[in-house]
Amino acid sequence: CGVFGIFGTEVEAAKLTYFGLFALQHRGQESAGIASFQEGTFFGHKGMGLVSQVFDEDILQHLPGSIAVGHTRYSTTGTSRVSNAQPVIVETARGKLALAHNGNLVNTLQLRDHLVQEGLNLETTTDSELIAHRIAQEVNQDKSWPEAAIAACQDCQGAFSLVLGTAQGLMGIRDPHGIRPLVIGTLPSKGQQGEQQYALSSETCGLDIIGATYLRDVLPGELVWIDQQGIQSQLWAAAANPKLCIFEMIYFARPDSHMHEESLYSYRLRLGKYLAQESQVEADLVIAVPDSGVPAAIGFSQASGIPYAEGLIKNRYVGRTFIQPTQTMREQGIRMKLNPLPDVLSGKRVILIDDSIVRGTTSRKIVKALREAGATEVHMRISSPPVNHPCFYGIDTDSQDHLIAATKSVEEIARQIDVDTLYYLSWEGMLAATGENPDHFCSACFTGDYPIAIPEPLKRSKLM
């Protein structure tokens, strides 16, 4: 999911949030929503579909105020329906709370049981609603917004990057492992007193689109509270232990977003270079599975000296195939999405680069299309290791039995997707390319080494 928020001294926070969500569209295409606050009054709108389908000028006109929170959803818990769209809105003694959540809790069942026992009426099927209700309970005990949020977050286990809007201010929170990203930006103010305006965004591309300047990340285990006085920070977790999702870096986040002081384009280019060094092969062309494989393919070409070419043209108006709910729809999606170029491919030995293989269905179809277009050899190179474990922290990589690498060896996968050779980047290479301490990442979908313990019943739902 994508989360976004604005604390402004001027109006139109909802409009800025709309643009922020537009830049974060890749993080979720199922539903979108914006909540705004104008002098204590709440406004909100959400719906199913893309940001541009859910909002228009008229709707945004009816979301006034200088504080706003927005969300683009990609369902990892709960079903796909409008009542599960976010921000989640709950009533508290201090007015409405709007909560936008990216990530997945792992103790949802326990939290839910607890709240239901206390007599709470739950409206949705999401873990995010539970967090909002826990905060409301604490606010109703007369805690301040930050104190209430901290008390609630202490009951939550799992991944949560939160943006919360209230009539009094805006809040940003990351779980102690900082699994999902969240950044802070500042906007120039036209106001006389030169007050700062702030933005919170899942990724820096959400700051770029509104002309905000990146200030810093919200830290793992940090809460920031932004109001008229400016920004206050609290490190609320007893022991923060950074474990940023490596999948954000290799695939999920936009290549023009920055993490660890460089664009993910640069990181992915390096993945391609490492891949070329690890797995040399003779060929005529390097091509990418667009768009996600492009930076690594360029890096592979630079390091190997084999020319890069476009061999597949993507129709950009088809949503990410992976996010569509059924396997049949997914298979239809891929046919609509990619078209090979026979005049580029004919008679050529091709190196095909992608960022990952999850189920293997996309890859198999692409290889078939390349051969039909005249490629004489197809050597597939993947800029990450085999995905053989499910994610419980908010990326929808499916249950383990659907992951092709969970049950098949690399040779078997090569046969199944019908490539001449197949090689995956090493786990060491993927982490070394970050230039950071490898311990500071979650890479559980490649290793099964989950940084946050998964309770038994949840484990059984996704592990073989």
Using Cβ positions, the residue closest to ligand 5GP within the complex turns out to be 322
SS3 of residue 196 by DSSP: coil
Q: Is the distance from CB of 124 to CB of 88 less than 8 angstroms?
A: yes
Q: Which residue has the tokens 């609290």?
A: 234
Q: Which of 127, 129, 138, 354 binds ligand 5GP (CB under 6 A)?
A: 354
Q: Annotated catalytic residue: which of 1, 153, 205, 391?
A: 1
Q: Which of 45, 114, 314, 320 binds ligand 5GP (CB under 6 A)?
A: 320
Question: Nearest Cα to 280, choosing from 386, 381, 178?
Answer: 381
Interface stretch with Mg ion, choices 123-131, 141-149, 284-292, 304-312 (CB under 5 A): 284-292
For binding to ligand SF4 (CB under 6 A), which residues are involved? 179, 245-247, 391, 393, 395, 442-445
> Shortest gap between Cβ of 181 and ligand SF4 (angstroms)?
11
> Shortest gap between Cβ of 31 and Mg ion (angstroms)?
22
SS3 of residue 329 by DSSP: helix
Rounded to 5°, the CA angle 246-18-202 comes to 20
17 binds, among ligand 5GP, ligand SF4, Mg ion, none (CB under 5 to 8 A by kind): none
251 binds, among Mg ion, ligand 5GP, ligand SF4, none (CB under 5 to 8 A by kind): ligand 5GP
> Shortest gap between Cβ of 338 and Mg ion (angstroms)?
10
Whether 1 sits among the annotated catalytic residues: the reply is yes
Closer CB to ligand 5GP, residue 44 or residue 386?
A: 386
423 binds, among Mg ion, ligand 5GP, ligand SF4, none (CB under 5 to 8 A by kind): none
Q: How many residues bind ligand 5GP (CB under 6 A)?
A: 19
Q: Which of 172, 355, 369, 454 binds ligand 5GP (CB under 6 A)?
A: 355
Taking the CA atoms of residue 363, residue 276, residue 387 and residue 72 in that order, the dihedral angle to the nearest 10 degrees is: -80
> Shortest gap between Cβ of 245 and ligand SF4 (angstroms)?
3
Closer CB to ligand 5GP, residue 89 or residue 358?
A: 358
CA dihedral (209, 215, 220, 222) positive or negative: negative
What is the crossing angle of helices 145-153 and 127-140, to 10°? 130
> Shortest gap between Cβ of 302 and Mg ion (angstroms)?
20
Q: Is 10 left (phi over 0), alpha (psi -120 to 50) or beta?
A: beta
| Residues numbered 96-125 forming contacts with ligand 5GP, rule: CB under 6 A | none
Rounded to 5°, the CA angle 367-369-277 comes to 35
Q: How far is CA 286 from the centre of its chain?
A: 28
Closer CB to Mg ion, residue 231 or residue 323?
A: 323
Q: Is the distance from CB of 308 to CB of 286 less than 8 angstroms?
A: yes
Beta carbons within 8 Å of 135's beta carbon, 6+ residues apart: 90, 92, 97, 99, 148, 149, 152, 164
Q: Is the distance from CB of 201 to CB of 102 less than 8 angstroms?
A: no
> Shortest gap between Cβ of 155 and ligand 5GP (angstroms)?
28
Q: Is the distance from CB of 293 to CB of 324 less than 8 angstroms?
A: no
Q: Which of 72, 292, 321, 363 binds Mg ion (CB under 5 A)?
A: 292
Closer CB to ligand 5GP, residue 68 or residue 294?
A: 294
22 binds, among ligand SF4, Mg ion, ligand 5GP, none (CB under 5 to 8 A by kind): none
Closer CB to Mg ion, residue 95 or residue 255?
A: 255
Classify residue 16 by burial, with Cβ atoms within 10 Å: 0-12, 13-18, 19+. Answer: buried
The single-letter DSSP state of residue 252 is I
String of DSSP letters for 69-102: EEEEE--SSS-SSGGG-SSEEEEETTEEEEEEEE
Mark residues 389-428: x for contact with ligand 5GP by CB under 6 A, - for none. ------xxx-------------------------------
Q: How many residues bind Mg ion (CB under 5 A)?
A: 1
Mark residues 356-375: x for contact with ligand 5GP by CB under 6 A, - for none. xxxxxxxx------------
The total number of residues shown for the chain amounts to 464
Distance from C-alpha of 47 to C-alpha of 34, rounded to nearest angstrom: 10
Closer CB to Mg ion, residue 7 or residue 247?
A: 247
179 binds, among Mg ion, ligand SF4, ligand 5GP, none (CB under 5 to 8 A by kind): ligand SF4
Distance from C-alpha of 410 to C-alpha of 416, rounded to nearest angstrom: 10
Question: Nearest Cα to 369, choosing from 339, 326, 391?
Answer: 339
> Shortest gap between Cβ of 290 and ligand 5GP (angstroms)?
9
Q: Can you list the alpha helix ranges (DSSP code H) found in 338-386?
A: 342-345, 361-372
> Shortest gap between Cβ of 329 and ligand SF4 (angstroms)?
22
Active site residues: 1
* Contact footprint for Mg ion (CB under 5 A): 292
* Contact footprint for ligand 5GP (CB under 6 A): 251, 289, 292, 320, 322-323, 354-363, 395-397
